Structure 1
Amino acid sequence: MAAKPELQEQISHLPHQPGVYRYYDDEGIIYVGKAVDLRKRVSSYFTKQDHNKKTQQLVKNIKRIEFTIVNSESDAFLLENNLIKQHQPKYNILLKDGKTYPYLLLTNERFPRLIPTRNKQPDDGQYYGPYANQGALNVLLELIRALYPLRTCTYNLSPENVAAGKFKVCLEYHIGNCKGPCVGNEDEAAYQQYIQQIRQILNGDLRLPRQYFREKMTAAAQEMQYELAHQFKQKLDKLDEFQAKSTIVNASLTNIDVFSIASNEKAAFVNYFKVMNGSIILTQNLELTKKLDETDAEILAPLIMQLRQEFASEAREILTNVPVGDLPLPGVSIAQPQIGDKRKLLELSIKNVLYARKEKESMNEKSKDVNEVRIMEQIKKDLRLTELPKHIECFDNSNFQGDNPVSAMVCFRNARPSKKDYRHYHVKTVVGPNDFDTMYEVVTRRYRRLVDEGASLPQLVIVDGGKGQLSMAVKALKDLNLWGQMAVIGIAKRLEEIYVPNDPLPLYIDKKSESLRLFQRMRDEVHRFGITFHRSRRDAATLKTELTDVKGLGPVTADKLLNKFKSVKKIKELTEAQLVAEVGKAKAKVLLNYFDQQETATPATSVE
């Protein structure tokens, strides 16, 4: 697609340097991209011929181009990512804003609380997360509350307030979930020891709390406090159970980010594992709608940057299933392992992302099936049919001033087009523009053939036309002894009017009905299918008539030339040597003389 003159002027002044380019329409930025060579990259949008429809639409909407030169490809990557998040352009893939993710807040109060939140206020304390979903956060919060007697009240437990006896213990104290720091029953140093261990758990390291509970259990057992030792043993079991659910391969895999991607034509699916101390402490699946024809690497690279930022990852190693090039992450290695424990970890991520893609595609397919059954049931209800119309056929006639009459039939099965069953018909027995007789002929030919072949008949036949076309279709079915074996309706020019046999008044279906939408879709499809065939036949007839009128040129030679060059205009543009190569000296001379005579016979015109 060639650039408009004003855009071509802008492109010609782009530098051969790395940078970020921005496309604008009348309302603002519609796309942000990065490039190693700005001029080459931007030019490719207007010179390549194989863009998909979405990219073609983007190019059509570009009214203005702006760019920023940077020092390196890494700088371009960072600037592109920031501009996309800032402007959220229409044609860029966008990741959901992290502010909607839940966090765990460890408050900076005396006797800190651990509370879930979605709003970050940095002065309130230290935030952990975000967590991929509320369920993952709840599991961790439940574990910590089962292990440690943290307070949940919002009292200001300053030493002065506690000493003054301003507070009373609540239900949490009586059921054993809190030791009552509000009334001075909890030692602050012991409480801070809990907080230190909680920080370790929230950072994905269970070694310190495990050691603490093991020592407490052993000490209690030695002092023959077996009930207390059993309580500590239960807490150890909870830690082991929690880690067992997330341990991968072995504990030597520490501080690793794992990303895998799988896509189809419409969407990309990404899985992210955050691994610490041999455990997956966070997992996230994302689905992103493709805006242009992006490759997996183009989608995954910015997502790695954004997900690491959203989930506060400081991992120095990244595993991926596709190469993503050099990212602006100093000191971080990126690899696609082929063997060993890291490969097993990556394969688990790939397994998750492939399952997510399969599940989504399966849901879409089931949704389609449910929609189609609903549509067919609605048609059955609207037309008062005796059976579900799983097989519907629609007919239409096409001619131009009576010339080259043709008919077309489209077939829908389960409310979907079945293109292998579409048919074109050359009208054989009708002379001139007679839609009624043409309808009788093609309906007769269609269903006589189905009967002869032993094929199944449709439950519903639709003819494009009013009472006249409908009556001829009915007559054809009666003459074939098929009347009563399928329902027949006619669609008038005003689509909401449906004619049924033996009823002089049309049937009006709700304009919002899914039945009417399907009928409209079928009528549009049969029009398209029929008109395309009619035009090709008419054009072929016109071309062949012109060439076969040339004396000394037979129909075989005319067909050969037309099949190869498609039009008389292109044949006229051939040189004498090219014509000789195609048809020989004698016929080439005949054609050249004919074309010369045509030019001489055509009077010149002038424009004033």
Structure 2
Amino acid sequence: METPDLEIQLKTLPSSPGVYQYYDKKGKLLYVGKAKNLKKRVSSYFNKKHDNARTHMLVKKIVTIKHIVVNSETDALLLENNMIKNYQPKYNVMLKDDKSYPWICIKNERFPRVFPTRRLIKDGSEYYGPYTSMKTVHTLLDLIKGLYPLRTCNYDLSKEKIESGKYKVCLEYHLGNCLGPCEDKISAKTYHDNIDAIRDIVKGNFKDSLHRFRSQMKAHAEAMEFEDAQRIKEKIEVLEGYQAKSTVVNPSINNVDVFSIVSDEGYGYVNFLQLSHGAIIRSHTLELKKKLDESDAELLAIGIIEIRQRFNSQSSEIYVPFDLDLGDGIRVTVPKLGDKKRIVELSERNAKYFRMERFKQTKIVDPDRHVNRLMAQMKSDLRLSVEPRHIECFDNSNIQGTNPVAACVVFKDGKPSKKDYRKFNIKTVTGPDDFASMEEVVFRRYRRLLNEDEPLPQLIIVDGGKGQLSSGVKALEALGLRGKIAIIGIAKRLEELFYPGDSIPLYLDKKSETLKVIQQLRNEAHRFGITFHRNQRSKAAINTELETIPGIGEKTVIELLRHFRSVSKVKKASAAALSEVIGPAKAKIIINHYQQSANEN
């Protein structure tokens, strides 16, 4: 059957909530999306010009549009998420984490075992989780084991087999790790009371267990059974210690999911905290790879649906940092103050830390990916039209108004390219004039690159505020490069970034990768410029003070300065002190020179 053209397909779409799918001419699924109104949402792709290049490319490839109508937007969210996971379309957000997670299993047995597993078997057993790491599972099981001794054997402990004496207690019983149900040393009711308490602990509810243990401790103490009372007291301390580590908010906040997001140019990071009785019982961060420059709201919605499905969350309320429409059945709260606000901020911190760790890891494991991310981030932060793969930074040095020089440092892919560094003696400017000096060196630098047909940078940074920036812009205008190379100025005091023609500076986040690179460029240009300036001043000092003395050569000057450290100390030195370093003949020449100079003055 021949596919109708796009116009007809668009006109026949329903105005209902649902999921739409885009296919190319080969029938390959390109993209899956959800909508409150299918007709309106799908038509918007074809009714406007897209700034994002990937979205523009997607629209060009679409040949066939299919859709599935559902009852509500919540159903659309769930269906969209399942289809993305199953088909992984090229232009959809990519879930970067698809590993299996551990669960705690309470086995469907007469005397249930409690153990960790990654496999869910439909045999009537109960599964709690999944947990974000096996370490968390083992910590919880160690706690449970210390509070409620349970069997670890896999015997069939039916009533008939126990009464027939088929089994004998093992070493675990003698060590106190098991209460011996195999020899009927603990009743099924008492054992199941312990299992009920374990269910509560796994769910994050410690209240009943603490109450039960306190009652037992009191009873033992009243009966003068002090050793048993002490043993129960130690269990209470373990349980309270574990609860104290987990509790971070008001205990009245119960059965709530908390979500937040941080993102950069390429990825979104959705953090999830699950709260039960004021304690965080689960934390997880999901990494999402952007494909079509998705907004934080779109990424957060995808992340929430995926995480709630993955961890089988039944919470009826969620806390998020901004308004979000997740359809009916889920109460979305944006906390404004108090403990609720603080828990959302804690979630945001977790997302930021996760992102920082991923940056560190990709630097080591995948340097290319790190560079690509950094360049995309810098392009966005600095409002550039292209990625700043090649950056040059200029700094002037004319300390005490002498020997004015300038330095140009070069970064490629965010790293110093020291072989490309250049230094300049200021030639056309008299006296300490930073603005004129900046204009001269920028002009000389790019005139040379143009003459030698060398590649130009994508970004120029001048160390200074509006004045130095204006000087750099004038130099680029004289070369016909204005508008072809981006140029900004950085003021030292407040890390303000100035743009040509804009009186209001840009302030970047103090912890942003972009600002760190710019600061590194500025500091490197300053270091390189100062070193060059010191060398020039040293040469000038040698030339004017010592090498002008007839009969004193460069080697003698170096020996004198190495020993006396300065020209003024050479001038004050005695004949004997000079003779020890350069011999009596040359010492006499220097003494006579300075005496003659003194007499003339």
TM superposition score category, shorter chain reference: 0.5 to 0.7
Which position in structure 2 is the counterpart of 1:347? 345
SS in 2 for 1:280: strand
Taking the aligned partners of 2:232 and 2:98, their CA distance within structure 1 comes to 37
Give 2:334's aligned amino acid: Q
Which position in structure 2 is the counterpart of 1:208? 208
Which position in structure 2 is the counterpart of 1:322? 322
Shift of residue 64 of structure 1?
A: 1.8
How do residues 233-382 of structure 1 correspond to structure 2 at under 5 angstroms? 233-325=233-325, 327-330=326-329, 332-365=330-363
Paired residues in the alignment total 397
Cα pair 2:411 2:417 within 8 Å, conserved: no
Q: Deviations over 1:534-554 (max 9, x none)?
A: xxxxxxxxxxxxxxxxxxxxx
Which position in structure 2 is the counterpart of 1:483? none
How do residues 162-201 of structure 1 correspond to structure 2 at under 5 angstroms? 162-201=162-201
Give 2:276's aligned amino acid: M
How do residues 37-52 of structure 1 correspond to structure 2 at under 5 angstroms? 37-52=37-52
Which position in structure 2 is the counterpart of 1:403? none
Taking the aligned partners of 1:169 and 1:23, their CA distance within structure 2 comes to 64
Cα pair 1:204 1:279 within 8 Å, conserved: yes
Structure 1 residues 329 and 193, CA, compared in 2 at 3 Å: closer, same or farther?
Answer: same
Give 2:239's aligned amino acid: L
Cα pair 2:316 2:331 within 8 Å, conserved: yes
Taking the aligned partners of 1:113 and 1:187, their CA distance within structure 2 comes to 15
Shift of residue 119 of structure 1?
A: 1.0
Cα pair 2:275 2:281 within 8 Å, conserved: yes
Structure 1 residues 414 and 81, CA, compared in 2 at 3 Å: closer, same or farther?
Answer: closer
Which position in structure 2 is the counterpart of 1:461? none
Taking the aligned partners of 1:64 and 1:371, their CA distance within structure 2 comes to 33
How do residues 72-91 of structure 1 correspond to structure 2 at under 5 angstroms? 72-91=72-91
Cα pair 2:130 2:311 within 8 Å, conserved: yes
Cα pair 2:271 2:350 within 8 Å, conserved: yes
Taking the aligned partners of 2:347 and 2:215, their CA distance within structure 1 comes to 37
Gaps of 5+ in 2: 372-389, 392-408, 428-451, 459-481, 483-601
Cα pair 1:98 1:310 within 8 Å, conserved: no
Shift of residue 238 of structure 1?
A: 0.7
Which position in structure 1 is the counterpart of 2:152? 152
Shift of residue 148 of structure 1?
A: 0.8
Which position in structure 2 is the counterpart of 1:21? 20
Cα pair 1:297 1:324 within 8 Å, conserved: yes
SS in 1 for 2:246: coil
Are 1:112 and 2:112 counterparts? yes
Cα pair 1:78 1:328 within 8 Å, conserved: no
Taking the aligned partners of 2:18 and 2:273, their CA distance within structure 1 comes to 31
Taking the aligned partners of 1:168 and 1:58, their CA distance within structure 2 comes to 69
Cα pair 2:77 2:305 within 8 Å, conserved: no
Taking the aligned partners of 1:528 and 1:27, their CA distance within structure 2 comes to 47
Taking the aligned partners of 1:528 and 1:158, their CA distance within structure 2 comes to 86
Structure 1 residues 96 and 161, CA, compared in 2 at 3 Å: closer, same or farther?
Answer: farther
SS in 2 for 1:201: helix
Cα pair 1:316 1:333 within 8 Å, conserved: yes
Gaps of 5+ in 1: 374-391, 394-410, 423-446, 455-525, 533-562, 564-608
Report sequence identity in percent: 44
Q: Deviations over 1:140-172 (max 9, x none)?
A: 111001111100000001112122222232221
Cα pair 2:218 2:229 within 8 Å, conserved: yes
TM-score, normalising length from structure 2? 0.60
Structure 1 residues 528 and 190, CA, compared in 2 at 3 Å: closer, same or farther?
Answer: farther
Give 1:235's aligned amino acid: K
Which position in structure 2 is the counterpart of 1:63? 63
Taking the aligned partners of 1:201 and 1:195, their CA distance within structure 2 comes to 10
TM-score, normalising length from structure 1? 0.59
Taking the aligned partners of 1:350 and 1:168, their CA distance within structure 2 comes to 54
How do residues 176-575 of structure 1 correspond to structure 2 at under 5 angstroms? 176-325=176-325, 327-330=326-329, 332-365=330-363, 413=411, 529=455
Taking the aligned partners of 2:134 and 2:57, their CA distance within structure 1 comes to 39
Which position in structure 1 is the counterpart of 2:475? none
Structure 1 residues 255 and 61, CA, compared in 2 at 3 Å: closer, same or farther?
Answer: same
Cα pair 2:253 2:277 within 8 Å, conserved: yes
Which position in structure 2 is the counterpart of 1:443? none
Taking the aligned partners of 1:248 and 1:417, their CA distance within structure 2 comes to 41
Which position in structure 2 is the counterpart of 1:569? none
Taking the aligned partners of 2:413 and 2:90, their CA distance within structure 1 comes to 33
Taking the aligned partners of 2:177 and 2:328, their CA distance within structure 1 comes to 44
Q: Deviations over 1:381-419 (max 9, x none)?
A: xxxxxxxxxxx99xxxxxxxxxxxxxxxxx974676889
Shift of residue 111 of structure 1?
A: 0.8
Structure 1 residues 230 and 72, CA, compared in 2 at 3 Å: closer, same or farther?
Answer: closer
Cα pair 2:260 2:270 within 8 Å, conserved: yes
Q: Report the RMSD for the aligned CA atoms in angstroms.
A: 3.6
SS in 1 for 2:123: helix
Which position in structure 2 is the counterpart of 1:10? 9
Give 1:358's aligned amino acid: M
Taking the aligned partners of 2:259 and 2:61, their CA distance within structure 1 comes to 34
Taking the aligned partners of 2:240 and 2:370, their CA distance within structure 1 comes to 50
Give 1:258's aligned amino acid: V
